[in-house]
Chain A
Amino acid sequence: MSASTETTPRQTPANGAALRTPVDWKFPIVYSALALVTLLLFGLFGGAAGKSTTFSFAAGTDLFGIPPVTVSSMPTAIAIGIVLVAMAAIATWLAAKREKIGIWFPVVFGVLFLSAFLTWAGADTGRIPITPLLAGALALSVPLIFGAMCGLVGERSGIINIAIEGQLLAGAFLAAVVASAVKNPYAGLVAAPFAGALVAVVLTFFAIRYWVDQIIIGVVLNVLVVGLTNFLFSTVLTQNPEMWNARQQLPVIPIPLLGDIPVLGPVLFRQSILVYLMYVVVAVLYIALFHSKWGLRTRAIGEHPKAADTVGIPVNRNRVINTLIAGGIAGLGGAFFTVGSGLAFGKEMSAGQGFIALAAMILGKWNPIGAVFAALLFGFARNLGNTLSTMGTPVPSDLLLMLPYIVTIFAVAGFVGKVRAPAANGKAYAKQ
């Protein structure tokens, strides 16, 4: 016998010519708009005529120095603008031919756009310090990355976790309290995962034992954690701050050699153990998710729990375990707010970062590496906003800070490729 039906493509339709996929004009439009903004707002009418912008890279500890680069603001922005217009034209031409463009294209476009923007924004003050800009971005990304990893492990297993915000906050709280009580920041670091996991216990208890909608539990848990930490802050912590809420900071541990590389060194390798832990978590998660037995099973219970059940994989037990691990990861991320940054605990200090972590996870398409880049993008936008507003540039920082959220909305609305969540996400599993 033959298996002639094997992967036979559907036959071309009788009246096939009329059926070609419609041209996707979304990206050409976005590219063109950004190119025009660059050329006109940052270049021709940017009001930066005759001014110059200096990009500095030094950090003092480098093996060798990179000299600052000074460019003439307006011509540079115009030049980049022209390149971007050309790129937009290429994108339009390719789109009309229904050809796909590699990932390098948006990356190059983005970097150029950003350069033009910085050139324009720095024209008034004259100086853009690149290293602190990147270092700050990484710092702001740390809780986002931990949070996104937490969301990702949960959702890959089929549990929606809106409570990342609460887990970060709980982690920050417990880390601060334990570190302060033991007078050792590392103790706080050890304690933080338990706080995140505790929130996860409640989440899984209601989601798996009682089939309560996971979004509802998540939303309510956030309120619960805010209420609890605020209450304890106002009673216990403020009564005796020396005992319960004294500042403790994880020391910076520079990695020999790597830490001395210009720009990259201070940004990536002169960090506390928490940041190094983050690198490990991301790498391990990526490998585990796509190349391990655990990962295969995790993805199976998130996509098609019944299929997993029929091959003897205990769906709900795995979901509980994974959600608890995820909670621990988020708790670690929370520790960054307190012991990671050398701050005492403050009311609601996670300030919505858990929701951005959720956004980073989605923008990264539920892939650890993608989520890291999305989180870095968000962290960078936020840090850029802060930096520019303290520098006194004309850019309204509040509007800049909206960017990550707007980008995420565009992403879920399907403007940034296909975003597909795990199929069984948020659905309680019961044998029937």
Chain B
Amino acid sequence: MKLELRGITKRFGTFTANDAIDLVVEPGEIHALLGENGAGKSTLMNTLYGLYAPEEGEILIDDRPVTFSGPGDAVAAGIGMVHQHFMLVPVFTVAESVALGYEPTKAGSLLDLAQARKKVADISSRFGFNINPDAVIEDLPVGAQQRVEIIKALSRDAQILILDEPTAVLTPQETDELIEIMRQLKAGGTSIVFITHKLREVRAIADGITVIRRGKVVGEASPESSESELAGLMVGRDVHLTTEKDDADPGEATFSVRGLTVVDKSEQVVVDDVSLDVRRGEILAIAGVDGNGQSELAEAIIGLVEPRAGSITLDGQDLAGLSVKERLGRGIGFVPEDRSTDGVIGSFTISENMILDLYDQAPYAKGMSMQPAVVRVEGEKKVGEFDIRLSSIDDPISTLSGGNQQKVVLSRELGRPLRMLVASQPTRGLDVGSIEFVHKRIIAERDSGTPCVIVSTELDEVLNLADRIAVMYRGRVVGVVPAHTPRDVLGLMMAGVPEDEALARVEDGSAATEISAAEEDPA
């Protein structure tokens, strides 16, 4: 089936998320839609899937214009979508999830779950998905949940499959499996729209590439284009993949973690016997695919989660039993991973957000009484220092862009003398300019002698910032390697391959991850 979008425009209030976008997907093509976070990719696909109504433009399927008043119409037209955040009810079984909305029924409108189970089993076996129809969604790993989503789409005879950032939550190994599934689907005649901001994946799998930036199509590219060409299209100018920095001049290790183990609510081990040392004046980057325990490690350091075993030591003192507040008082700066949830309070003013963890300390408070005038004056100083673009410091922080909100967080966490810094995904969702600024400030903090732990799932960021890299996989530290370690080695380690083996495999050319060797078929 051929899909064509003509001049699709979608606005949210005064904000234009999609501006006259054209896109053609040929039958049986894997078409990549490439763009930065916030470029409008997901909006476009939600429009195509009938979740949003476009203000202008038309959708054509096999050259016939169609209009969708809801996802039901899109599905009927043969479009299936796997959302970035899976649309699965956690307490449902696989069969129930697949049946939802298209329920097979027996007499008396009772559910025919046997038929639903059979459908799942059929599709699962046809593509080798290995999914149990009676498994409960919340018990499945993300890779399997994604396959359930694909089964959902296929069970409705989708001819065009939209995959929205499908690899964001996958390990490299699971990504390889997904790429293989995409190839099978393509061979079966399904067209695929593959939304991503990861350049290497695009080059590995796509037949055609459309790049969008700030809601507009900025160009078409072929999979043969180099990464820097694609990156250039995507961000709109030559990217400085490196921030200039001097070599680290590390001092003694003042921060260390020993045998740290953290379990989550369902008693799963998420951080598994981790030991690390960080020296003064160096950045230790923690690399890994999302969900391999990095976030929990950072949270354990600041005291948001209580470790089940192990110790965390700063300046020779064990932090065990200390509250978050006490740890902040010991000089730990913490930049949380999810800015809007954990970093700022949207309805509080910018100046209030600047003192979110300093509100009860001099000079912002005298005893129980806060000093609003001091809070304002000190806040104004930071606005200049951290280059925060705002109209009034008394506005709610939710009026700021993500980059400026992050600068507020940094102004708070770096604006006081630190004994150590923990930053989780410090540039997630930011524009290129803000990323550079954030990186510079972190390096400056390092240069002033603070031991820094940076958690990032973006390899570019890791390579840009790190003096040493610790790779985590399934809660364990697979290895700690120098900053100049090749990407392929890191990629293998992120899939759980130990350092020596990864090095050896890369050297003798048998590296099995597709994303680093797009032409080769996996073993």
Contacts and interface: CB of A to CB of B under 8 A. Distances in A.
Q: Do chains A and B directly touch (beta carbons under 8 Å) in the complex?
A: yes
B180 A297 contact: no
B269 A10 contact: yes
Given A18-B309, A307-B87, A5 B174 contact: yes
Interface in B89-119: 89-92, 96, 99-103, 105, 108-111
B128 A2 contact: yes
A60 interface: no
A296 B308 contact: no
B499 interface: no
B194 interface: no
Contact of A310 (B49, B92, B309, B474): B49
Contacts of B105: 292-293
B189 interface: no
A294 B110 CA distance: 9
Contacts of B259: 15
Interface string B310-335: 00000000000000000000000000
Contacts of B272: 11, 13-14
Contacts of A304: 87-90
A10 B103 contact: no
B187 to A, nearest CB: 13
Given A6-B141, A15-B273, A308 B100 contact: yes
Contacts of A292: 105, 108-111
B71 interface: yes
Given A21-B267, A307-B88, A312-B72, A296 B128 contact: no
Contacts of B111: 291-293, 295-296
Contacts of B132: 7
A112 interface: no
Nearest to A302: B89
B269 A311 contact: no
B144 interface: yes
Contacts of A348: none
A382 interface: no
Interface string A301-328: 0011011111111100000000000000
B22 interface: no
A310 B71 contact: yes
Contacts of B268: 10
Contacts of B174: 5
A292 B89 CA distance: 17
A257 interface: no
B215 to A, nearest CB: 17
A19 B49 contact: no
B144 A312 contact: no
A311 B102 contact: yes
Contact of A18 (B71, B87, B171, B308): B308
A8 interface: yes
A431 interface: yes
B147 A3 contact: yes
A313 B75 CA distance: 12
A423 interface: yes
20 contacts: A3-B144, A5-B171, A6-B131, A6-B144, A7-B132, A11-B272, A15-B259, A292-B108, A292-B110, A293-B110, A296-B103, A297-B103, A299-B89, A303-B92, A304-B87, A304-B90, A306-B87, A308-B89, A311-B100, A431-B51
Interface of B: 49, 51-52, 70-73, 75, 81, 83, 87-92, 96, 99-103, 105, 108-111, 128-132, 135, 139-141, 143-144, 147, 152, 171, 173-174, 177, 180-181, 259, 261, 263, 267-269, 272-273, 308-309, 474-476, 522
